């Protein structure tokens, strides 16, 4: 079992080689298009906004295919494109949060904010970036939660009403007589591990349903407490300049925050725009497995080197979920350790 894979090439083509429902988290930082930075691959590739959105729509279809039903998606984007991307993603995903990443950088490290002539502004200065957070969508209700559909189908197969299941697991509500079961089936929230175990026992006792999957394979993880950034406004300073810094590099603390909240140890984290490998390193640090895709050969090699250093001493991470490993891709760096493969399209 590999802890880390690095794939060199067009990530849209590479995505199509991955097995369906094979990754638990997709954490992407694609070209923003609106920023038009020539030192970021793809940022100036599209003359029209619509062309960029059509390109992102192709990714959305593939992300939905490779993501596990209880998986999550993060997508960084520019504030000027976030609304249109949210509408686009809503065809395949339930967009749960529109996160604002604000950067409390020290003077001298805050870009043009401290240098520009404020009197020349004709709109609010765009000091923040956006992060869209979503889960795979299922048809049938406003929230379209895959677990909601799974629970409804299992309950009906067991021949139980909402009231009966609620009574069996002791999850009555004060106002909603369907209790927590009604909320779960409407996609408004999800049961705890203890509640899910009660659901499993109650449904399987009827003898009418197949064995229920474990908690980690059906519930979308979201681990949060008051000591962390629990709102949809994130305050993480930008990465300060250093030799070898990627122009779009995101702070490790922010990536770790996203990964830790939305995955179980051993889960697979996919980054289709690998850059300098920050997402991969954050995943490995948290004992998650990682797949990084990067189109620029120089940066793909840099990710390979950094991941090699981080992963070489590790034993394979054991997953608490039954993750697939995807289709095997051709290996082009056989001299590297068994825990790293660098892939290329067309080979």
Domain at 299, CATH number: 3.40.50.150
- Same structural domain, 201 and 264: no
Whether residue 100 has pLDDT greater than 90: yes
- Same structural domain, 178 and 67: no
Are 339 and 5 spatial neighbours (Cβ–Cβ below 8 Å)? no
- Indicate whether 171 belongs to any domain: yes
Number of separate domains in the chain:
2
- Indicate whether 145 belongs to any domain: no
Per-residue confidence at 110, pLDDT binned at 50, 70, 90?
Answer: low
Mean pLDDT calculated for residue range 137-149? 74
pTM score of the predicted model: 0.83
Per-residue confidence at 108, pLDDT binned at 50, 70, 90?
Answer: low
- Indicate whether 22 belongs to any domain: yes
CA-based torsion, 148, 150, 151, 152: positive or negative: positive
* Ranges 62-66, 105-109, 254-258: which has the least confidence: 105-109
- Same structural domain, 254 and 114: yes
Mean pLDDT calculated for residue range 322-338? 35
Are 110 and 160 spatial neighbours (Cβ–Cβ below 8 Å)? no
Whether residue 260 has pLDDT greater than 90: yes
Mean pLDDT calculated for residue range 239-243? 83
pLDDT at position 332: 30
Q: Which domain holds residue 176?
A: 160-207
- Same structural domain, 326 and 197: no
Please provide the average confidence, as pLDDT, over all residues in the chain. Answer: 83
- Indicate whether 214 belongs to any domain: no
Distance CA 89, CA 83 (A): 10
Mean pLDDT calculated for residue range 138-153? 78
312 Cα distance to chain centroid: 25
- Indicate whether 174 belongs to any domain: yes
- Indicate whether 153 belongs to any domain: no
Tell which of 149, 177, 207 closes a domain: 207
- Indicate whether 95 belongs to any domain: yes
- Indicate whether 336 belongs to any domain: yes
Residue with tokens 């957070």: 133
Percentages (nearest 5) of helix, strand, coil residues in the chain: 35, 15, 50
Distance CA 203, CA 212 (A): 8
């Amino acid at each position: 079992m590999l802890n880390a894979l690095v794939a060199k090439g067009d990530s849209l083509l590479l995505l199509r080689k991955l097995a369906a429902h094979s990754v638990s988290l997709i954490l992407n930082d694609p070209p923003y298009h609106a920023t038009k930075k020539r030192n970021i691959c793809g940022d100036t590739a599209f003359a029209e906004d619509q062309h960029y959105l059509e390109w992102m729509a192709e990714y959305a279809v593939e992300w939905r295919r490779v993501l596990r039903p209880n998986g999550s998606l993060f997508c960084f984007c520019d504030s000027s494109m976030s609304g249109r991307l949210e509408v686009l993603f809503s065809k395949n995903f339930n967009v749960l949060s529109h996160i604002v990443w604000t950067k409390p950088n020290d003077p001298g490290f805050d870009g043009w904010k401290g240098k520009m002539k404020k009197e020349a502004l004709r709109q609010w200065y765009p000091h923040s970036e956006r992060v869209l957070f979503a889960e795979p969508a299922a048809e049938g209700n406003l929230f379209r939660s895959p677990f909601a559909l799974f629970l409804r189908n299992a309950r009906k197969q067991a021949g139980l009403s909402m009231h009966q299941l609620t009574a069996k697991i002791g999850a009555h509500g004060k106002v909603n007589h369907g209790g927590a079961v009604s909320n779960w089936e409407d996609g408004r929230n999800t049961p705890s591990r203890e509640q899910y175990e009660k659901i499993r026992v109650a449904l399987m006792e009827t003898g009418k349903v197949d064995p229920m999957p474990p908690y980690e394979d059906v519930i979308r993880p979201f681990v949060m407490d008051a000591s962390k950034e629990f709102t949809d406004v994130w305050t993480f300073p930008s990465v300060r300049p250093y030799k070898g810094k990627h122009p779009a590099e995101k702070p490790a603390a922010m990536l770790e925050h996203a990964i830790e909240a939305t995955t179980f140890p051993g889960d697979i984290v996919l980054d289709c725009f690998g850059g300098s490998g920050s997402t991969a390193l954050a995943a490995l640090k948290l004992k998650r497995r990682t797949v990084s895709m990067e189109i620029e050969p120089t940066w793909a090699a840099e990710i390979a080197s950094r991941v090699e250093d981080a992963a070489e001493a590790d034993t394979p991470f054991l997953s608490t979920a039954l993750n697939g490993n995807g289709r095997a891709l051709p290996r082009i760096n056989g001299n590297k350790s068994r825990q790293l493969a660098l892939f290329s399209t067309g080979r």
